[in-house]
Structure 1
Amino acid sequence: MLTLHHLFTTLLSESGLPSVSSTGRDAILILLARACRMFAYGASSLVLALFFAALHVSDARIGLFMTLTLAGDVILSLLCAVIADRVGRRRMLFLGSCLMIVSGAVFALSEEYWVLLGAAVVGVVSATGGDFGPFRAVEESILSELTGPETRADVLSWYVTLASAGSAVGTEMSGRIVEALRAREGWTLVDAYHGCFGLYAVMGVVNLACAAMLSERCELRTGREEGAGEGETAPLIEESDDEQGRGEGKKKTRTSWVAQISRETLSIVAVLWFLLMVDSLADGMANMSLTTYYMDRKFGLPKSALGDIVSVAYFLSSLSSIFAGPLARHIGLVNTMVFTHIPSSTAVLLFPLAQSVPLTFALLLLRVGLNNMDQAPRAALIAAVVRPEERTAVMGITGMLRTLASTTGPSITGVLAGNGRFWIAFVVAGALRLAYDLGLFALFINIKLHKHEATVEADEVPEGRSAEGVREQSGP
């Protein structure tokens, strides 16, 4: 009985749930909002193209809608990220939720193409199921603010895990919801799609409620001038040493609506941005839609079988993300990113060599199952190497660059597939991913982490961790 109790305690500790609980209500609200939002994104992405097809919109206009929607999301995401710390993170999440509600309501009521396009570009609609809107960078920055080096990877792991689970459930449920609504008397297929988008608006309301309940702890606390009053705003641009020495000690302060990124930070994140763009280009070349299309062409599998294979892979991906936080605690952020990503990258590289369905399925499970384990450590790594006041902007720019890089990948694969060289896309994508992994390890394995945060003291080390291990992760 003691053994079972010890096993349960160990599993609970390693799961990262105690870290989520100790972070407080704000973290739980953000996790809930993300799960509900990704449920809506997953549901809408499945029916969006079908909705336009039911409205007899041409394929060219559907493609235009997807492109412009993605462009609008990228611009909105970047804009919100660079001004969120000045305007207020909670206000930005509240505004994003309002845009999500309005977009969902328009899609639930309108059938005019240009009205729908305007609502998608200006508002928040996920055409691909990805979280490209104004939320992610701000939420990751808030979670990084609420956590310390020892709990951050755990909390961010659950942020990724619940997002994957929400998206998977939304994708699975949307088809059933449409069929259930269509079966009701007097409901057409288009009406059923409208009902699905109504649920999207409801999830926006949940996000709005969560944003409204967030506390002051979510706002940027670093950079306030000593002795500043409760309502005063600290300068967002720090002065250099030379500026501070001018004018016989006269202190100059400047404020800006746009977050500033120091040269020291840029020298670090510019290299990381380049590596992440290489990885995103590879992901775009072998995204899941293209992967299932390749499997369909190669083996002629029934669509139901393809759906089952992908569903199992996504479920495994959600499950594996839970372990990213505990693994990062034991072996470090960079090691977790690299050592979980290399097997996934190798599976992409070897994917065309599989000549049987079971082996192809195994490689797909290996690829997708481990593919998301680097997301939480990546966000934690960014939070650990930049100043707190720079996190939101850096995370927003990171998401924008990754999105732009990934959008060029399918075009390259399309050219290769059209020339009968579809398999080359997976080989190139796998090689690029491995180059990213090795480059990340070589350039960041010895980087100093958490130097802008309080040093971890020996008495703060949680049970099961040595102070030496924490100091090693925190840098010399």
Structure 2
Amino acid sequence: MKAVQSIHPATYLFAARALRDFGDGFVAILLPVYLLALGFSPLQVGVIATASLSGSALLTIAIGFLGARRDLRGLLLAAAGLMVASGVAMSIVNDYALLLVVAFAGTINPSAGSVSVFVPLEHAVLTREVASAERTRMFARYSLAGALASAFGALAAALPDFMTTFGFGQLTAIKLMFVVYAFLGLAGAVLYARMPPRITRGEPAKAALGPSRAIVFKLAALFSLDAFAGGFVVQSLLALWLFEQFNLSLAEAGVFFFWSGVLSAFSFPVAAWLSKRVGLINTMVFTHIPSSIALMLAAFAPTLPLALALLLIRAALSQMDVPTRSSYVMAVVTEAERAAAASFTSVPRSLAAAVSPALAGALFAASFRAWPFLICAALKITYDVLLLLQFRHHKPPEEY
């Protein structure tokens, strides 16, 4: 027991995040292939993605109210149980209406990113474990662990093609991958169970948000614009675009998303280093805008190599705002508000991101395949400009 208690709680969170993102990495690529193989249209794929993100948003709202009053470890265990149920259900359900229910109520993540019910809980736990000066570096390591695992998960998306050489049908092979996803959720639950519970010492229940309400709501509004934009190019839809535009195979897509994930992963420690020199807000904005320009150019790329090169440039830059954004939110609120702030800034992101995949699916179905990329890039640049104008003078404590 002493050996277990000597391990830093963040270690368990990092490991659980890595397992979860490994699963998200292959699910985001396999989801459109699975749905198309079942006979559904690109529009229906987009609607499934919308249902998934909408359900995540509602769960995150609940977490925002519960996080200030409940043991965070218990909530993380419940979320891991939901991940197990989601994987099992996806492996046995073929009916579209039931798939919508599973997507809405479960943890299937079409974005392979930090949009899930786990995120606000883990952010709150991580923040209370470190001093302000180390917070951004901690979030960078946390994001690095998840992104590297997601990259290897993308490689694992090629396993169904490999399994067909041993006599498995493609649908059966993909269903088995959803079973693997369920086992990853079970392993995550084991890790969460090893974390020490939060001791409340009989403290009275506190309001979810208090003195920081105004800034949290303003950040939430801006983050919702960014998420709405990103929803046009969630990883499942980007994979769908590559499959339909360039006839990419599962194995080729897995290799591309692996390197995309690796570039994103190693951008996180760079973001932490850069933020100490130019500040969190400047790091978020001035890395985001070039990534949006690369996405615009990729929409018109005439060849696959050029499209992939531009998308890899985007991958190297577009996620540098992830640890810096998380660190900034945790820095500008009080300790008692952190779980709620993480939730209330995540909820609009999930709600806004939930709308756009269905719109992108409709554009794909209508053969306007470049439009989701262009809309995403234009809205993200707008978000970056607004964020800089609104918050360039509102600095976290370590920048004063």
State the distance in 1 between where 2:302 and 2:44 align: 37
Query: 2:290 maps to which residue?
Result: 343
- 1:71-470 matches, within 5 Å, as 71-108=54-91, 118-176=101-159, 178-184=160-166, 187-216=168-197, 219=198, 230=201, 232-237=202-207, 259=208, 261-262=209-210, 264-288=211-235, 301-304=246-249, 308-352=255-299, 359-410=306-357, 423=370, 426-450=373-397, 470=398
Q: CA deviation at 1:374?
A: 0.5
Alpha-carbon displacement from aligned partner over 1:188-225 (angstroms, at most 9, x marks no partner): 44443332222112111211111111124xx387xxxx
State the distance in 2 between where 1:294 and 1:105 align: 28
State the distance in 1 between where 2:352 and 2:380 align: 13
Q: CA deviation at 1:138?
A: 0.4
Aligned-residue Cα RMSD (Å) equals 3.4
Q: Which amino acid aligns with 1:204?
A: G
Distance 1:306 1:127, change over 3 A: closer
Q: CA deviation at 1:160?
A: 1.4
Distance 1:149 1:272, change over 3 A: same
State the distance in 1 between where 2:288 and 2:352 align: 18
Q: Secondary structure at the match of 1:86?
A: coil
State the distance in 2 between where 1:355 and 1:29 align: 45
- 1:19-34 matches, within 5 Å, as 25-34=8-17
State the distance in 2 between where 1:28 and 1:325 align: 19
In structure 1, runs of 5+ residues without a counterpart are 1-22, 222-229, 238-258, 451-469
TM-score, normalising length: structure 1: 0.72
Alpha-carbon displacement from aligned partner over 1:13-52 (angstroms, at most 9, x marks no partner): xxxxxxxxxx962111101100101111222333344445
Q: Secondary structure at the match of 2:203?
A: coil
Q: CA deviation at 1:433?
A: 2.0
TM-score, normalising length: structure 2: 0.84
State the distance in 2 between where 1:85 and 1:324 align: 29
Q: Which amino acid aligns with 1:175?
A: A
State the distance in 1 between where 2:185 and 2:366 align: 44
Distance 1:130 1:332, change over 3 A: closer
Contact 2:21 2:112 in 1 (8 A): yes
Q: Secondary structure at the match of 2:128?
A: helix
Number of aligned residue pairs: 393
Q: Which amino acid aligns with 1:303?
A: L
Q: CA deviation at 1:389?
A: 1.6
State the distance in 2 between where 1:419 and 1:272 align: 34
Counting aligned pairs with the same residue, the percent is 27
